[in-house]
Amino acid sequence: MGSAETARVRCVAAVPCWVSLMARDLDAAKAFYGPLLGWEFEPGPDQFGPYVHAVAGGEAVAGLGVASGGWAMPVAWTAYFGTESADAAADAVRERGATLAVGPLAFDAGRVAFAADPVGAVFGIWEGPPGRARKLDLPGAPVWIELRTPDPFAAALFYGEVFRWDGRDPEHFEVRWEHDRVVLRAEGHSVAALAKEQSGGPAGMPPHWEVSFSVPDTDVALARAQELGGSAVGPAFDSPYGRVARLQDPEGGRFAVISPKG
């Protein structure tokens, strides 16, 4: 979420518009992700603990932080959905039988909350400075965010009610079915999807939002991740959106890299 230093970061309603890692050791996370994804780092908001923005090609593309206080969060990447009202979204989460874990809390770029959907996939809620979705065609940017869940249609009903997918202007937001996925499109770009995967499936993971970062060559990035102390979660594979490798950082945080199709 944005700060005075990174006014570029904007909240985009109804879709994932920011990703953030909660690590145990921020320096170790920077030493892994910086060389792997070509990131530089700049200070971010720190009222909840140490936090930096990852910068690629002059753009703030992700956040890395360390939870402070009584937060006992696992090392994991979280995708944040934009919303016009964090309170309304939080109420909708509770009303639909899901879990509101933290917040909404106020900070310098708006209000944020953490929640888990009815089958346990964790996501963030962010009410912040409004903007429009942009496709960042640059290495190191999160270019694909996908929910891996046993029932993508039930999940789509849940997220659609929480983030008010129905009734939005179809010129700016659209939900469609393609490549065996429920796909979210914003400003003409496919930005996220909900796909079927049984719990404990090929990646050995419960339901979760998988964040994929763009790289020029997936196989090269996979080898580099291992050199930096990470590990592969299965072999690289070809998807409708590009070649993908699922990875784990040295502290156990799961993510993916993708060399997108042109």
User: Mind giving me the DSSP string for 18-49?
Assistant: EEEEE-S-HHHHHHHHHHHHT-EEEE---TTS
Q: Which pLDDT does position 249 carry in this prediction? A: 97
Residues 44-58 have a mean pLDDT of 87
Per-residue DSSP letter, 6: G
Q: Which pLDDT does position 201 carry in this prediction? A: 52
Q: Which pLDDT does position 214 carry in this prediction? A: 96
Contacts of 206 (CB under 8 A, 6+ apart): 119, 120, 121, 199, 200
Residues 101-120 have a mean pLDDT of 88
Q: Which pLDDT does position 8 carry in this prediction? A: 60
pLDDT at 229 over 70: yes
Query: What is the architecture, at CATH level 2, of domain 4-127?
Result: Roll (3.10)
Query: Could you give the percent of the chain with pLDDT greater than 90?
Result: 67
Per-residue DSSP letter, 71: -
Q: Which pLDDT does position 11 carry in this prediction? A: 84
14-50 pLDDT tens trace: 999 999 999 999 999 999 999 999 999 999 887 778 8
Nearest Cα neighbor of 60 from 46, 36, 81, 44 is: 44
Contacts of 106 (CB under 8 A, 6+ apart): none
Q: How confident is the model at residue 72 (pLDDT cuts 50, 70, 90)?
A: low
Q: How confident is the model at residue 134 (pLDDT cuts 50, 70, 90)?
A: low
pLDDT at 60 over 50: yes
Q: How confident is the model at residue 129 (pLDDT cuts 50, 70, 90)?
A: confident
Ranges 126-140, 146-160, 202-216, most confident: 146-160
Question: What's the mean pLDDT when you consider all of the chain?
Answer: 88
Q: Which pLDDT does position 2 carry in this prediction? A: 38
Alpha helices in the chain (DSSP H): 26-37, 86-95, 152-162, 218-227
161-220 pLDDT tens trace: 999 999 899 888 999 999 899 999 998 888 999 999 855 555 567 899 999 999 999 999
CATH superfamily of 142-260: 2,3-Dihydroxybiphenyl 1,2-Dioxygenase, domain 1 (3.10.180.10)
Same fold, 4-127 and 142-260: yes
- Residue ranges of domains in the chain: 4-127, 142-260
SS3 call for 89: helix
Q: Which pLDDT does position 39 carry in this prediction? A: 97
Q: How confident is the model at residue 5 (pLDDT cuts 50, 70, 90)?
A: very low
